[in-house]
Amino acid sequence: MKKKEHVKLSEMDQRYLEELISKGSLAVKVYRRVQGLLFLNEGETYTAVSQRLGVTKQTVSTWAKQYRENGLEVLQDKPRPGRPKKILSIDEATITALACSEPPEGYSQWSLRLLADEAVELIEADSISYSGVRRILKKTNSNPT
């Protein structure tokens, strides 16, 4: 007979997970992880849990491994890799508003380079490239040139 692969939750962790389920205001991925851990605690196999929750067996195995190593931290996603944004949303809104305003005296319209130069002063940034301004404006339906 095949040995069942399962997780043994502590009493406190089990109560916490059951309370989370009863509240009913969880994100779907967190709900699945909670359900998966509870099913594994009942002695169900990885295969059975994966079929019940509609995830892969590898996913259930990963949840079990992460629970054994880090406890209930398995419920939250780890931070995604990558460089953080340099320009905040409020600054993007400022740049967009600037592009919609009247151009400075002596110019008939805003250019991307002119917007970048003006934005550096407005949002007190070290520098903003004109291609960065282009990406910000591309998100909107504006046409600065």
Share of the chain above pLDDT 70, in %: 94
Residue 102 has pLDDT above 90, yes or no: yes
Residue 60 in contact with residue 40, Cβ under 8 Å?
yes
pLDDT tens digits, one per residue of 25-51? 888 889 999 999 999 999 899 999 999
Write out the DSSP string of 76-110: SPPPPPSPPPSS-HHHHHHHHHHHHSPPPTT-SS-
Cα 121 vs. chain centroid, distance in angstroms? 31
Which residue has 């409020």 as its token pair?
90
pLDDT tens digits, one per residue of 81-92? 888 777 777 888
Q: Please tell me what DSSP assigns to residue 5.
A: P
**How far apart (Å, rounded) are the C-alpha atoms in residues 96 and 67?**
45
